[in-house]
């Protein structure tokens, strides 16, 4: 069973796909459903995806596919007002604002996903325009971005290959913090940050790897680890 908002969203997506062949943006969906933020759209899309009404197409921005449409009675009647059927003379999109309800407090936000970062030997970091949906509870104050972990040198810290490292932007670090370190402005790695005399030491969390030592001018801190996301297939 779908809620009224879920039903309205899938109808809006289906109508847009039929009209243009392109799924609507999150901003367009937010405005069409009269929501206050895009986090509400994320929750609705996740719910529709879990119920196998839609699916996200991999490696494509804002790409959604409608797998099936709800049956006539497949909608939860939340209140008398929202249970009223839509007029056949009006499109679902034109009905959306009539059934809007206050959304819960934001619990999901989008942060930039900037490619892969080595948790082994340094690899070149690269930028991308992708975004990652993250539970707000995993993030604190400040500006954040995400990197996909590549390698196994941080496994003893619980950071595995394929995890998403959530990074708080900052350019300073204290000894013992896990940071994104940019080496000679070319390569980035995720390691424990420590000072060793006049040198900077980047320590792995895997006994199979050796620490890396650099002169301070060779290393720039790009952020500190704030959290992790892991997907289970």
Place of tokens 């952020």: 223
Q: What share of the chain is helix, strand, coil (3-state, %, to 5)?
A: 25, 30, 45
Question: Is 118 within 8 Å of 137 (Cβ atoms)?
Answer: no
Catalytic option among 5, 30, 191, 224: 191
Task: For 25-51, give the DSSP string.
Answer: PHHHHHHHTT-SSHHHHHHHHHHHHHT
Query: Which one from 39, 133, 150, 153 is the annotated catalytic residue?
Result: 153
Q: Kind of pairing, strands 131-135 and 144-150?
A: unpaired
Whole-number Å distance between alpha carbons of 160 and 154: 7
3-class DSSP state of 16: helix
Catalytic residue check, 191: yes
Instruction: Give the helix/strand (H/E) hosting 82.
Output: none
Task: Answer yes or no: 81 catalytic.
Answer: no
Strand partners, 113: 146
- Just list the catalytic residues: 153, 191
């Amino acid at each position: 069973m779908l809620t009224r908002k879920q039903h309205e969203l899938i109808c809006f997506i289906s109508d847009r796909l039929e009209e243009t062949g392109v799924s609507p943006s999150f901003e367009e969906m937010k405005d069409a459903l009269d929501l206050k933020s895009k986090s509400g759209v994320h929750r609705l899309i996740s719910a529709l995806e879990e119920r196998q009404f839609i699916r996200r197409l991999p490696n494509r921005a804002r790409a959604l596919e409608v797998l099936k449409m709800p049956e006539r009675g497949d909608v939860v009647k939340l209140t008398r007002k929202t249970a009223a059927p839509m007029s056949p003379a009006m499109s679902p999109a034109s009905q959306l604002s009539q059934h809007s309800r206050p959304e819960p407090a934001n619990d999901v936000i989008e942060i930039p996903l900037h490619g892969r970062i080595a948790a082994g030997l340094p690899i070149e970091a690269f930028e991308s325009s992708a975004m990652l949906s993250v539970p707000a509870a995993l993030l604190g104050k400040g500006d954040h971005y995400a990197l996909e972990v590549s390698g196994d040198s941080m496994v003893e810290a619980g950071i595995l290959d394929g995890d998403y490292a959530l990074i708080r932007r900052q350019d300073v670090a204290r000894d013992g913090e896990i940071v994104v370190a940019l080496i000679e402005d070319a390569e980035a790695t995720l390691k424990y940050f420590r000072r060793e005399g006049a040198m900077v030491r980047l320590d792995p969390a895997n006994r199979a790897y050796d620490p890396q030592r650099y002169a301070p001018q060779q290393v720039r801190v790009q952020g500190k680890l704030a959290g992790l996301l892991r997907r289970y297939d």
